[in-house]
């Protein structure tokens, strides 16, 4: 994916296909920084690092329907994006169904055990 590293006098970005995409990404990044600054009194810092989530453990906890309802081609792709922080368990429609409540609990348990929390928590 795309990534940016911020330093005192420069920003390094990777994964951009061209300069136009880099400018759009930089504009988005500036917006995120401004929004964070505006909400700083509402934000609780985390002083510990997140643990590593085993992608296979996460995959095995998912319904593994490969239904594509989340927009990803497979449950493995979905698990990778959850681990990367690009998606959340709630982005998997089957996990919201009662028949997959055990899967939902297992996925949330794996993430909580690793110290993950939703961005707005």
Task: Provide φ and ψ at 10, rounded to 5°.
Answer: -165, 165
Summarize pLDDT for 41-92 with one digit per residue, the tens. 998 887 777 778 899 999 999 999 999 999 999 999 999 999 888 888 999 9
Residue 29, exposed/middle/buried by CB under 10 A (0-12, 13-18, 19+)?
Answer: middle
pLDDT reported for residue 121:
45
């Amino acid at each position: 994916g795309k990534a940016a590293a911020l330093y005192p006098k420069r920003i390094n970005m990777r994964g951009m296909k061209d300069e136009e995409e880099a400018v759009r990404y930089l504009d988005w990044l500036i917006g995120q920084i401004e929004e964070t600054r505006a909400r700083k009194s509402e934000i609780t810092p985390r002083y510990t690092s997140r643990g590593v989530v085993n992608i296979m453990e996460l995959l095995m906890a998912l319904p593994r329907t490969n239904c594509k309802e989340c927009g990803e081609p497979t449950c493995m792709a979905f698990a990778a994006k959850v681990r990367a922080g690009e998606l959340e368990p709630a982005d998997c429609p089957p996990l919201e169904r009662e028949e997959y409540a055990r899967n939902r609990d297992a996925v949330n348990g794996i993430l909580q055990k690793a110290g993950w929390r939703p961005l707005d928590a």
